[in-house]
Chains A and B, each alone.
Chain A
């Protein structure tokens, strides 16, 4: 036990003396979290929409006013003689074309078609745009002739009633920052030992593989938990998150997750005694896989089935489920116990792999 603590103290001292690593441990996670949490938003508001009014009647102006009154779109007039596609080339998201005789048809009480050309080069924004437009038209219809609709939908939005993108992204980006920088620092330190050859001193000393690995794991768990403090503070302030249920599963999962990512870094550093290669492996495993395959941005169900199974192996996916549950859904243990077990199991597996590759080098005493 004394040797484990000594090893841990040595690692921490080394880290504090290395300015680059210290900057990475303290500055980068916060920077990543704010940057990605702010910028990866899908909902475009204030969409410029061009209106081409071929009718010019009071009815058509009423319809345009309905669009103007909406906060999500921003109406720009467009001359009748110009091609509407030109507007899309110049940054409009959609063109509303009101046909000739629109006013007459409305008065007659028949179904009056109106065309909406949507720029679909960004499919998600296109979907949002046509959703907004059809909602505006529905409201216009309902206001023009108040007929009770037979069936009304009362839609309740659970867990995030304000539809805040930050509230959804915050937990995910928190996980991303932890998954990237804890293993990066760990792997760098371990690989450095291999690169400089000081690992040989470890091999010939009487410290056992377990003591050495546990000491390092503990040191970087301390670093990881210390990183959690500013990140969670950001979640509560900048992202406006609050615990939705009991925080206990989240706390347990956080400690286990920090263990998991630290031992991932240890495994990489022990197996690859080369800093550059270690950086590449950690960016792939810690960043790319968690960023893409853990449901951070888009639902996992959207990943093609051939690739979806990989996401079950990505440790970040399980932790994201726990963090989202803690801050949004609040179902607590029943929803999260399995994920927490998987996180702990993955960490133990990484640790065992590191131990296996370390043991080969150790001399039998």
Chain B
């Protein structure tokens, strides 16, 4: 047994692997880029990219100054959607402040608001929304409408404006109402970081793997030691596989660290267990190594390799649905996401971690990821061999 182990340890392959590990250990830059970007990216993106719409700064012009108008404003601000940021005397003044970007929204209650309600006449309240940010505006609009609906329902119950209900109901039959009860599955607290973090995880696997491996691959050429490797009795396949294996193992450690961060800092639930996510991440890492090696075969220095990745990474990340939903892409771009490993990993990560889906629903994405990995790795190995021979 001992002889057997020694036999393996003494093979040419193991010697090359030991050499690669030694090289990586002495290269401070590789070590740093295995540790810093994962932590920085997961923490920064997870904490900072947050589309939640809450505490919008609301300016108030209350011309009515009645219990009814005060109750309306209280209803508006008692949820966390709006927070009063100031009272103004005229609509013009309010408009100026909104235009300067100091307020997100304004509400103008007309002077006859209370009187109209007392008499059973419908009253109109004007909302001004700073709609520059279309997403926030859309959600704020829905908030405002639902607050008004709540207020209207409350009017019927409180004794204050019973008049109105009587006047309105006098002509018609009893009023039936459909009430919608939304239930948020998989993420009842609507935590926004889970979506972002799971997307960044995929970006990290592919991009970091490609950057680290491109640097490692190009290094031998930069130092001029590639010729020595070529002259050694090791075959080209042995050289390439021995180059990839240590990188793969180290990057898998990075994946474990990233999973630990997601679990501990962001409390991502991992409902489908860890196996599927790790399997997907390992495929992603391999695919990233393939991309990095491929880039490295076209460049002469590591600076060039890094600059080349500026041409490759932006399309990979922005057409991946990692940070924003892939379904929000324009229809003509959406098919392109199918060619993107980050997209497939995102589907796998979100499906498994948040929804607890198994292979039964995720197999097409696994298949696609596997196909990319095989293509990228064999393409890069082929290019690398062509260079060596």
Contacts and interface: CB of A to CB of B under 8 A. Distances in A.
Nearest to A46: B327
A141 to B, nearest CB: 5
Interface string B102-129: 0000000000000001000011111111
Given A121-B355, A160-B132, A164-B134, A151 B180 contact: no
A27 B293 CA distance: 24
A42 B324 contact: yes
Interface in B137-159: 137-139, 141-146, 148-149, 151-152, 155
Given A39-B319, A123-B191, A155-B129, A106 B176 contact: yes
Nearest to A308: B48
Contact of A38 (B72, B101, B164, B329): B329
A43 B135 CA distance: 7
Given A150-B122, A160-B134, A297-B49, A276 B29 contact: yes
Nearest to B161: A150
Contact of A24 (B55, B155, B187, B310): B310
Contacts, number: 313
Nearest to A181: B310
A134 to B, nearest CB: 5
Contact of A127 (B168, B180, B190): B190
A87 B152 CA distance: 35
How many interface residues does chain B have, given as a range? 35 or more
A303 interface: yes
Interface residues of A, number: 102
Interface string A30-70: 01100110111111111100000000000000010000000
Given A114-B179, A122-B195, A127-B53, A153 B127 contact: yes
B223 interface: no
Given A134-B180, A151-B122, A157-B141, A38 B55 contact: no
Contacts of B191: 123
A50 to B, nearest CB: 13
Interface stretch (B232-240, B243-251, B301-309): B301-309
A159 B324 contact: no
Interface in A52-92: 63, 85, 88-90
A334 B102 CA distance: 12
Interface string A224-250: 000000000000000000000000000
B42 interface: no
B319 A35 contact: yes
A88 B51 contact: no
Nearest to A102: B178
B314 interface: yes
B4 interface: no
Please list the 3 inter-chain residue pairs (A to B) with the smallest Cβ-Cβ separation, ordered nearest first: A131-B142, A157-B131, A109-B174
Interface of A: 20, 24, 28, 31-32, 35-36, 38-47, 63, 85, 88-90, 105-128, 130-135, 137-138, 140-141, 144-145, 147-161, 163-165, 167-168, 188, 275-276, 279, 288, 292-293, 297-299, 301-304, 307, 321, 324-325, 328-331, 334-335
Given A123-B187, A123-B190, A150-B161, 10 more contacts: A24-B307, A38-B318, A42-B135, A43-B134, A44-B327, A88-B185, A121-B187, A160-B132, A288-B44, A329-B130
